[in-house]
Amino acid sequence: MTELAATDPLPKPKRDIAPILLPVALALLMIPLIGSTSSWLTLTAASLAMGMMIFIMASGLTLVFGLMDVLNFGHGAFIAVGAYVATLVLAPFAASIQADSLWVNLAVLAPAALLSMAVSGALGLIVERVLILPVYGQHLKQILMTTGGLIVAEQTLYALWGPQIIPMPLPTSLRGSFILGDVAIAKYRVLAMLIGLAIFIAIQLVLNRSKLGLLIRAGVENREMVEALGYRIRRLFLGVFMTGSALAGLGGVMWALYREQVHASMSDDLTVLIFIVVIIGGLGSIGGCFIGAILVAMVANYGGFLVPKLALVSNILLMVAILMWRPRGLYAVTSR
């Protein structure tokens, strides 16, 4: 073993790149299978956009689980609430949505998204205080409480907005596609990719490069120690939970725009998808969650194109395959 001088930097842990290469390899493998380069590019862009949206929704869950050890089965409620709140803002500004100017459109969309995040974040505050606080450290009760919360939230949405599907049209300037040669890439997908990437980078920076992130990670490792150092870990975790809920709200708005409709049980299918992503990524790993989201979206898009019948169960097959390879998910963060 070589001696280290005191001034030497600490040896860096080895970077585990196999999971990062996985989606790249999958995408490259698909080129010959799909045959046409233009369809491949379109499908890949669709996968990336869908993956980023799923990532935004799943990142909140993975933060909450990985950092606070809280299993939130009601995460889908924040998604639906976010989408509904956005309809409140967008409805009176229908004219601005129809306007053929990117800036006018964004001037309405951005406040709508921010309000959705604020409302779902505030709801997160209430949920954490009322439902989660009494059951910290008890997984079984967490699952039951949050499932109950999901039922109540979904039924309240039905009571307030009614059971019908509410249309949520895309703004005019985000419709259509960029045409590059013979490849068409939908404009909204590009926006979704940009937002998803920005959020991924922001979370990584905060967690790994800021004092706040240091405290959060330390709190996960040893809660009592961080408390003994004088930091209010409870308040920190509350902030994490609210951030997770707000991200779910944002994801809900983006998904509603993608599907161009809002429905109180829109989160039911998404919840399953998000759980698969979180499991694939390794509970609590943001990087794993990001790769998992892209993999799930790729399997859905490529699978839907190549073998439509198989696409229905492709997510499960992907999950089984990944867990066979790495039983704790791509990146195992927690020892739980």
Partner 1 sequence: MMILSGDPPRSRVLTLVLVLIILALAATPFLFPGAKALNVAAKICVFAALVASYDLLLGYTGSVSFAHTMFYGIGSYAIAIALYGMGPNWAAVATGIVIGLPLAALLALAIGLFSLRVAAIFFAMITLAVASAFQVLASQLSWLTGGEDGRSFQLPELLRPGTVLVSKSLFGFEINGRILTFYLVFAISALMILALLRVVNSPFGRVLQAIRENRFRAEALGFRTVFHLTYANCLAALVAASAGILNALWLRYAGPDTSLSFSIMLDILLMVVIGGMGTIYGAIIGATIFILAQNYLQSLMGVASTAASEAGLPLLPGLLHPDRWLLWLGLLFIASVYFFPTGVVGRLRKAGGDKNAGASH
Q: Tell the smallest beta-carbon distance from residue 250 to partner 1 (Å).
A: 23
d(CA 217, CA 213): 6
183 to each of 39, 234, 294, 297, how far by Cα in Å? 7, 50, 21, 19
Residue 306 engages partner 1 in binding (rule: CB under 8 A):
no
323 lines the binding site for partner 1 (CB under 8 A)? yes
Stretch that binds partner 1, among 21-29, 158-166, 169-177, 240-248 (CB under 8 A): 158-166
Q: Parallel, antiparallel, or unpaired: how do β-strands 177-180 and 166-167 relate? A: unpaired
336 near partner 1 (CB under 8 A): yes
Residue 269, helix vs strand vs coil: helix
Member of 102, 125, 268, 305 binding partner 1 (CB under 8 A): 268
Closest approach of Cβ 150 to partner 1, in Å? 8
At residue 262, the 3 state secondary structure works out as strand
Q: Closer CB to partner 1, residue 45 or residue 262?
A: 262
> Which residues in the 105-134 window bind partner 1 by CB under 8 A?
131, 134
Buried b (16+ CB within 10 A) or exposed e, 124-140: beebbeebbeebeeeee
Only one of the segments 40-48, 94-102, 139-147, 242-250 lies at the binding site for partner 1 (rule: CB under 8 A); that segment is 139-147
- Is residue 248 within 8 A of residue 82, CB to CB? The reply is yes
Q: How many binding residues for partner 1 (CB under 8 A)?
A: 42
Q: Is 220 in the site for partner 1 (CB under 8 A)?
A: no
Q: Which of 27, 89, 158, 172 binds partner 1 (CB under 8 A)?
A: 158
Q: Tell whether residue 275 is a contact of partner 1 (CB under 8 A).
A: yes
Under DSSP, is residue 290 helix (H, G, I), strand (E, B) or coil? helix
The verdict on 139 binding partner 1 (CB under 8 A) reads yes
Quote helix, strand, coil % in the chain, to nearest 5.
75, 5, 25
Tokens of 132: 């989660």
User: Interacting stretch for partner 1, rule CB under 8 A, among 33-41, 91-99, 138-146, 297-305?
Assistant: 138-146
Q: Which of 143, 183, 190, 218 binds partner 1 (CB under 8 A)?
A: 143
Residue at 119: amino acid letter = V
Q: How far is the CB of 141 from partner 1 (least distance, A)?
A: 6
Out of 100, 107, 148, 212, name the contact with partner 1 by CB under 8 A: 148
- When binding is defined by CB under 8 A, the residue of 43, 63, 68, 71 that contacts partner 1 is 71
Helices and strands, counts by H and E, the chain: 13, 4
Query: How far apart are the C-alpha atoms of 75 and 39, rounded to whole Å?
Result: 34
